[in-house]
Amino acid sequence: MTLHQFLDTAFGRLGWDALPFWEIVRHPHDGKAWLNGLIASGAASLVVFGALAVVVMLTRRRWWRSLWSGWLTSVDHKKIGIMYVILALVMLARGLVEATFMRAHQATALNDTGFLTPEHFGEFFTTHGTIMIFFVAMPFLTGLINYVMPLQIGARDVSFPVLNSISLGLTAAGAALVMVSLVLMPFSTGGWSGYPPYTERSFNPGAGPDYWIWAVTLSSLGSTLTGINFSVTVYKERAPGMHFFRMPLFCWTALCTSILMIFAMPPLTVATALLALDRYADFHFFTNDLGGNMMNYANLFWLFGHPEVYILILPAFGVYSEVFTTFSGKTLYGYRALVLATMCIAVLSFGVWMHHFFTMGQSAELNAVFGISTMLIGIPTGVKIFDWMLTMYRGQVRLTVPMIYALGFIMLFVIGGTTGIVLANPSVDYQVHNTLFLVAHFHNMLIPGTLFGMLAGYTMWFPKAFGFRLDEIWGRRAALGWIAGFVLAFFPLYGLGLLGMPRRLHAYVEPAYLPFTVVALVGTLLIVAAFACLCVQLWVSVRDRDHLSVRAGDPWDGRTLEWATSAPPPEYNFPVVPTVESKDPFTHEKLDGKALQSPDDWQDIEMPRNAALGLVLGLVGFLGCFGLVWYMWWLVVLAALAGLGAVIARSFTRNTTKTISADEVRAQYMEWLENVRALPLTVRSQESSRANNGRAMPVMKEQQ
């Protein structure tokens, strides 16, 4: 074997041209190549040096061991939830930077100018979409559900803790693949939906679409497993007395989302797998020739894609339900109607996928049927909006940070709903399909809808997870920044869409577009500032954590079970599995003076042991897919064997649980309880002040 053959085998099709500065080397006299090369190299060095910095810090602070045993191999649903949210926030930072570049580019792109090359712009909108959907929104909501749902139903963990960590591993592997594509370029330019035949080998032979395929495949597998895990948890792990109709609404939305995941993610996995077969094995599912038909892809993709938007929005609806009831000090209005509406949305979401391609040439009658079924979803959604408003009615509303997000959500979401109804009408959709109007619409659903919900949830449950509140002032700045930034960044896009500007456009000649793109850029910068406020908030809060401490665990006068335990909760969540007698159980306990009591029946608790399987499968998933992208077949084979070996080895592990003795549980709990009982009760006017110690006087008692 010559050296050349060896290198070919070892590196597959990976060559020098994958390096982000290669364009500069190839065109050293081209200013645009320099600029784009520098931007790409800057991003790549952020990835490389960021990773290096983390490694150095872990080594210097000697955190490797605790990272390994406390986090990476942990199967505790709370730790996994936190890791999901961290992943989401890191990826959110990248997605935002990409959005800023695109908006800056479009604001300078009149008369076919602009500073990004078309390829670079194409990669930007593809990674932005892929990241925001699969590696921000999905991990964020999966993390929140992971953390909160088992606590709310009074469970000790999810049903399949190791599977949970495998899901995290696979999702993180997908995210890592997208990050690595910054260093070894290129990523796909086919958009987040990856429509063939554009993404087929005959039109895009490079590594880009393969990166996209494998990143999305890993993430979709992780989400399918998550869906199974969560739904079984809701079905089987509820505490005694936690009937379905006593579950907090967040758990209902978690259940609906999980069911959607189970049925909606596989079509995506199938779609990307078939596309991979086309690209790798010369199949012809979606090619132009030999009987391939891309319409099949469109159907498969949106069979996933439409339920997906409800996967993204329902957990946020759950968070808003908790926020409105908690911060209005009032039981949720229309609980059963809200449950019914959630279920309606979940079911209807499978019957509307065709509205993503009204313009594909099917019959008008078919379009009309799907248009009407789409509008039907507006009914339960509208009901929800009014239910939340009626929850405020005759309440005690406190304008805390989650509440600011929630109010911003309601007012912006109805506008997004309106444009959704516009898009549901096929004959009008013929005018705004594929334009920035559509882009504005789905950002209007996903930012005020999903992201505000996730940020509200993050603010609300952060004190539960870490024992201290997040700084209120910086939180308000961030929330208002997000709201104002959203309005400025996306309302102009409605205008641009109505003026006929297509999405994914890297240059234009219409002067009418310019003012809109400039305002949108300003809005985007405001959103970046809001994100910076979130970072400052986190830093300030960690610094002042002693003053913000709420170890008693109930900073917001919470109504549901998770607030009854300490902050942060012990690994086993509850010293004794609670018995539930009503909806809003913790509120009733507090009012009846049954909160903070010491149980008399202590028992040993059996908890799952740490497992490295999730980490290993994530790692081999990443390596295997990396090998697939660059045709390093030896790596693919090795990774597959290692993954198989790890699963087999795990199946020989008999000792999968550990026991925490009743005495230890009792000692921990009694110590906490004594501390809490010594604390004064806080009233709601102190909620946002340092006097808030996490021991809440129920607002209902205050009012008596």
Partner 1 sequence: MPLTLAVRDRKRSPEPPVAISRAASAVAVAALVALPGCDGIHITFLDPQGPVAAQQRTHFLIILGMMAIIVLPVLVLTPWLAFRYRYGKHNAYKPDWNFSWKWEVLLWGTPAVIVVVLGVFLWRNTIALDPYKPLLTSGPPIRVQAIGYDWKWLFIYPDLGIATVDELAFPVGGQLALDLTSQTVMQAFFVPALGSQIYAMSGMVTHLHLAADAPGRFRGRNTQYNGMDFAQQRFEAVAMRADDFDAWVQKVREAGPLDSRARAILAAQNTAQEAAQNLGVTMPLRFGSVPPDMFVQTSQPVAAAKP
State which of positions 546-585 bind partner 1 (CB under 8 A).
none
Choose between 108 and 293: whose C-beta lies nearer to partner 1: 293
In the list 9, 202, 603, 656, the residue contacting partner 1 (rule: CB under 8 A) is 202
Site membership for partner 1, residue 644 (CB under 8 A): no
Question: For the chain, how far is it from start to end, CA to CA, in angstroms?
Answer: 87
> Which residues within the stretch 317-336 sit at the binding site for partner 1 (CB under 8 A)?
328-335
Pick the stretch among 145-153, 311-319, 374-382, 572-580 that binds partner 1 (CB under 8 A).
374-382
Per CB under 8 A, the segment of 206-214, 432-440, 612-620, 628-636 that binds partner 1 is 432-440
Residue whose CB is less far from partner 1, 159 or 391: 391
Q: Which long-range contacts (CB under 8 A, 24 or more apart) does 674-682 make?
A: 675/551, 675/552, 676/551, 676/552, 676/553, 676/566, 676/596, 677/596, 679/552
The binder of partner 1 chosen from 67, 368, 638, 660 (CB under 8 A):
368
Report if residue 422 touches partner 1, rule: CB under 8 A: yes
- Tell me: does residue 699 bind partner 1 (CB under 8 A): yes
The span of 231-239, 370-378, 441-449, 602-610 binding partner 1 (CB under 8 A) equals 370-378
State how far the alpha carbon of 218 is from the alpha carbons of 126, 185, 305, 315, 510, in Å.
17, 19, 16, 22, 41
Q: Which residue of 97, 343, 421, 673 would you call a contact of partner 1, by CB under 8 A?
A: 421
Site of tokens 């064997």: 641
- Min dist CB 426 to partner 1, Å, is 5
d(CA 150, CA 247): 11
Per-residue contact flags (x/-) with partner 1 for residues 586 to 625, judged by CB under 8 A: ----------------------------------------
State residue 549 phi and psi, 5-degree precision.
Answer: -65, 135
Q: Match 């990674």 to its residue by tokens.
A: 127
Binders of partner 1 among 65-124, rule CB under 8 A?
A: 112, 118-119, 122
Task: Report 511-550 residues binding partner 1 (CB under 8 A).
Answer: 511-512, 515-516
* Minimum distance of partner 1 from residue 31's CB (angstroms): 18
Binding residues among 248-267 for partner 1 as defined by CB under 8 A:
none
What are the phi and psi torsion angles at 606 (to 5°)? Answer: -100, 125
**Burial degree of 591 (CB within 10 A; 0-12, 13-18, 19+):** middle
Per CB under 8 A, contacts with partner 1 among 270-299 are 288-291, 293-295
CA–chain centroid gap for 553, Å, is 25
Interactions with partner 1, residue window 380-419 (CB under 8 A): 382-383, 385-387, 389-390, 392-399, 403, 407, 410-411, 414-415, 417-418
Amino acid at the residue 665: V
Residues touching partner 1, count (CB under 8 A): 101
**Cα within 13 Å of Cα(493), Cβ side:** 31
Query: Quick check: 583 and 331 in contact, CB under 8 A?
Result: yes
Q: How far is the CB of 632 from partner 1 (least distance, A)?
A: 27
Do the Cβ atoms of 152 and 247 come closer than 8 Å?
Answer: yes
Backbone angles phi, psi at 657, to 5 degrees: -125, 160
Give the nearer residue to partner 1 in terms of CB position, either 215 or 436. Answer: 436
CA distance 146 to 377: 27
The nearer residue to partner 1, 22 or 386, going by C-beta atoms, is 386
Q: Does 691 bind partner 1 (CB under 8 A)?
A: no
- The rounded Cα 507 to chain-centroid distance in angstroms is 31
- 435 counts as binding partner 1 under rule CB under 8 A: yes
Give the nearer residue to partner 1 in terms of CB position, either 311 or 392: 392
C-alpha distances out from residue 178 to 91, 127, 175, 212, 262, Å: 10, 8, 5, 8, 24
Q: Using the rule CB under 8 A, is 684 a contact of partner 1?
A: yes
Distance separating alpha carbons of residues 224 and 226, to the nearest angstrom: 5
342 touching partner 1, by CB under 8 A: no
Query: What DSSP element (H or E) covers 608?
Result: strand 605-608
Q: Which of 245, 430, 539, 634 binds partner 1 (CB under 8 A)?
A: 430
Within positions 166 to 195, which residues make up the interface with partner 1, using CB under 8 A?
189-191, 195
Of the pair 68, 283, the CB lying nearest partner 1 is at 283
27-56: contacts with partner 1 (CB under 8 A) = none
Residue 209: both structure tokens together: 């679409």
* Window 484-513: residues binding partner 1 (CB under 8 A): 495, 498-500, 502-512
